[in-house]
Structure 1
C-alpha cells in the first residue's frame, strides 16, 4: 500500500478528517482538484457543536476575531440559542477560506500529505484496499490505500464511481450570494421576507457584507452567475441599487436535498457534502461535515491500527446517517418557513408562538446546535441508563485529585479516550489499565455536575475520542464491556 487512507477533497471535512486520522496514527494522503487554496467565503461560521469540537482539539484559538452569537433564527423566526447552557447560534466572522487555512495547517503539521491540482478519475477496490487514478501535474498516476474517503463535495466523483445511491429531491429554485463592498447595505441578519422573496445581509471582515438573494420564481440554472444578476435581483426585491458596489465573490446555490443511503461501501466511505446536501440554512453544512470527520477519524484509525472491535467502523454510518437525515428535515422545514412566500405566514405565526415557549426553544436550540444528540452506546444504555450516556461531554473545569485543575476539552486534544474518575479505591482505574495505549485515566476529587445530568450523580465517565460519553458510573453498566465495545481488546489480550 502507498498509504493507509486516501482522502479526496481538501474542504473542511477532508482536512479535519486527515488531522483526526493522523492523531490516530494513520498515514493519510489528500488529493484536491483545485491547484490553489480557495479564497471564497462560502461559509461564514459554524454551529455550537463544531465550536466545541475545534476546542477539543485545541485549534479554535487559531481563528482570530471571531464572534459567538446567541441570537439566531429557525426559518427566519428569532430564537435565543443560549437558552441551553453553553449553546449559541454559532461562530461568526470566520469565512470558510480561513477555516480551511486553519485546518490545512493543522493536518499538514500532523503529517498529512496534501497534493493540489489532482483530479480524481477512477477507483478499483479489492479485498485488501483501493486503487485510485488521479490526473495531476505529472500526468496520470495510480495510488493505493487501505481505505478511500470521499470528501469531494455535493457533486462527489467518489460517490458516483463507487456506486452510492444519493436519494432525495432535485433543486426547485436557485438563490444568489455575494460579498459586496462599497454599497450601503443595512444588516438583515435573520432574513427579511419581501413580496417577491427573501433577502439577508450580514457584515463580514474588511468592510464586506454577505448578501443572500432568494427571489421567488428563479428556476435552478447551473450556469455561471454574475454580480449584475445578483444586483438586479436585489433591486427588484428591496428597491435599493447595489450595482455600484465592489464584489470579491459571487455564487449561487439551490434547495436540492439529498443523502447517501449508506456512508460506507466496503473500503470506500463518504463524509461531509459528499454524503449529504441541503439548503444552507443556519450554517449547518460545514458543521456536520466536521462532526462526520470527528466521528469517522478515530474509528478508521483504530481499524487500521488493528485494535478496533468488530463493527466499530460500521457505527460511523449507524450514528451519523440519522444525524444527516435530521439536518435535511430541519433545513427543508426552514426553507418552507422562509422561502414559500406569504402563503406560509399563518404557519410562521404559529411557529413563533411555539418557539416563545422555553421548552420548545430549548428543543430547537438542541436540534440545530447538535447539543441534544444522543448516540446508542450499547445495550440500550443510551436511552435507558444515566442521562449522560451517549451524549456530548460538555467542557468543565476539573479539580484533580493531586490538587491541580484541568479542563475536559484540553484532555481531548490528543483524540484518545479519556476515563475521568473520582473512585478513590482505584478499582475503576485498575479496570482500564489494559487500555492505557488508547485511554487516558484522569483522577479527580469529584465529577462536577452539569445541567445534562438532570440531578443524577456521576462518579466516573468514559469519553470517546470524539467527545461523546460511552460509559458512566453509576448506571452505565460494566466498564470493561464499554472499553471492549469502543476500544477493542486489552493490550494483554
Structure 2
C-alpha cells in the first residue's frame, strides 16, 4: 500500500508528487494518457504564463533553472535578482483583452516585494513543465504509471482504493488531479457548484491565406475577442452563451465562420492543424477534502483561461497541500493541519473564479458590456488600476488568514537575502520550514532544535530585513510568524506558538 495515490500526471499532480516524494512519502501517480506530451501541450498551443508566485515555487525547490532551460528562456526570470530594490515587472498581462502597461505598476505600493530570481515569472509551455517535474519526481522515487484510467474510488476509515477496469490501487490517501472532468471528484461525491458559460473559446494552429487581415496581439470587437500570437496561432472568444458542443471537434468551416464574425474580417483559413475549445464555465468544489480523498488543480475548480490563472492556481494548491499531507503521512502533523488546506485555498480559488467572471461580463457584446468596458479601460490605465491588476495576477495580493494582525503574516515570504548571499529560496529546497533570525542572537535556535527534520534555523543579517528581527516561514513559503525589532519574551512566546501550530510540538 502506498502512502498517497495521485490521479493525474499533469503539472499539478506532478508538482504534488514531488512535494510528497521530497518528504520521503511513497507516491504512485496514475495517468490515463499512455505517453507523456502531446502536440497540444508543446509550444505554441501549450504556451502558459507562470506568475511570479508560481515561478518562485519552482525556485524554492531548485527547479527554476531546469524549467528555464526546458522552456527556451535565455536569461534568468528575474532581471534584477541581485539589485537592492525591486524594479517594475516586465509584464502585467491583460484584463478582458485590455493590455496593461507594466511601467505603470507602482512598485512602492508593494511593500513586501524584494528582488529575486523569480520576481517576473516566465512564459513556458506545458510540455516543458511536465518534463521537468517528471524528471524530478523520478529522482525522488515517485512511481508514474501511464495508460491507467481510474473508474471508481472507494474509501473507509483506514485507506482509499482507486479502481481501474482490471486493478485496484490502495493507499492511505488519494488526491484527484485529473482535470476539469475529474472522475475522482465525481466518484468520491464532491459537490461542484458555480455558474454556466457566457462564451465559447477556440484555440487553433492553422494556415491563413490572407494573414494581413488579422492584426497581431489581442483585439476586443463588438462580437467578442480574438488574438493572434504568431503566423497561424489564433484564439477566438465567441460570446454565444457557451453554445458550442465541446464534445465535437470544430471543423475548419466552423472555425472560419466564427473567426470572421468575431474579427469582422473576411479572413480565409486553409488547413487547420490542431484546434480545441473551452468555455468560461466557472465551478468549484465546495470542499477540497472528503475523508481520505482530496482535490487539487482543475479537479477542484474550473474557469475561463482568460488572464492565465489556471495553472498558477493549481501550482499554489499543490504547494499548499504537499507539506501538510506529508506531515500527516509522517505522523507529526499538528491537529487540524490538513483541514487548513481547504480553509486557505478555497477562498483563493473563489477569487480567481470571480476574476474570470468579471472579465466575461466586460466582454459581453451588448451596450451594457461596451459601457462597462469603457469605464474600466480608463480605470485600468491609471497607476493604481495597473498596480491592482498586477497584485492579483502575480499572487502578491494573496494573504491567508492566520489570525495575526502583523501585515506580513499569511503572505508569501519575500526573497530575503542574507549578507553572505544565501537566499530564502535556497533554504527552502529540502521542503522544511525555516526560522530565519536576522539578529543571529540565538534566541530562536533552541526553540527550533527540537523540530529537526521539520524546521531549520538560519541566522545572519539580511540586505533588507523589512524592519524585522526574525520570521518563521512554512515549507510552502508562507510567513507563519514575524517578529519586529526590539524582540522580547512575548515575541519568543509567539514564535513558539506558531511553530507548535504548524510543525507540531518539539
Q: TM-score, normalised by structure 2?
A: 0.86
**1:265–1:99 CA distance, 2 compared to 1 (3 A):** same
**Does 2:296 correspond to 1:280?**
no
What SS does structure 2 have at the residue aligned with 1:177? strand
Alpha-carbon offset, residue 372 of structure 1: 1.2
Which residue pairs with 2:505 in the alignment? Answer: 489
Distance 2:278 2:219 in 1: 18
The partner residue of 1:202 within 229, 232, 237 is 229
**1:103–1:341 CA distance, 2 compared to 1 (3 A):** farther
Which residue pairs with 1:46 in the alignment? Answer: 50
Deviates more, 1:362-371 or 1:162-171: 362-371
The partner residue of 1:394 within 406, 410, 414 is 414
Check conservation: 2:208, 2:269, Cα contact below 8 A. Answer: no
Which residue pairs with 2:468 in the alignment? Answer: 458
Alpha-carbon offset, residue 44 of structure 1: 2.2
Distance 2:141 2:290 in 1: 27
What SS does structure 1 have at the residue aligned with 2:152? strand
1 or 2, which has the higher strand percentage?
1
Check conservation: 1:214, 1:339, Cα contact below 8 A. Answer: no
Deviates more, 1:358-367 or 1:460-469: 358-367
**1:210–1:409 CA distance, 2 compared to 1 (3 A):** farther
Deviation per CA, 1:353-391: give whole Å up to 9, x if none: 2223323332221122211111122xx21xx12x21111
**Does 2:455 correspond to 1:439?**
yes
Which residue pairs with 2:35 in the alignment? Answer: 36
Check conservation: 2:200, 2:239, Cα contact below 8 A. Answer: no
- Listed as ranges, the gaps of 5+ residues in structure 1 are none
The partner residue of 1:125 within 155, 166, 170 is 155
Matches within 5 A, 1:4-19: 4-19=3-18
**1:334–1:254 CA distance, 2 compared to 1 (3 A):** same
Which residue pairs with 1:220 in the alignment? Answer: 244
Check conservation: 1:70, 1:88, Cα contact below 8 A. Answer: no
**Does 2:72 correspond to 1:65?**
yes
Check conservation: 1:43, 1:96, Cα contact below 8 A. Answer: yes
Check conservation: 1:461, 1:471, Cα contact below 8 A. Answer: yes
Matches within 5 A, 1:201-350: 201-203=228-230, 209-217=232-240, 219-222=243-246, 223-238=248-263, 239-245=265-271, 247=273, 249-350=274-375
Alpha-carbon offset, residue 425 of structure 1: 2.8
Matches within 5 A, 1:108-187: 108-135=138-165, 140-180=166-206, 184=211
**Cα-Cα RMSD:** 2.2
Deviation per CA, 1:77-121: give whole Å up to 9, x if none: 2324572456978522x1212222222222222111100011101
Q: TM-score, normalised by structure 1?
A: 0.88
Check conservation: 1:446, 1:459, Cα contact below 8 A. Answer: no
The partner residue of 1:99 within 120, 126, 129 is 129
- Listed as ranges, the gaps of 5+ residues in structure 2 are 78-89, 108-112
**1:167–1:374 CA distance, 2 compared to 1 (3 A):** same
Check conservation: 1:172, 1:254, Cα contact below 8 A. Answer: yes
**1:30–1:424 CA distance, 2 compared to 1 (3 A):** closer
Check conservation: 1:193, 1:341, Cα contact below 8 A. Answer: no
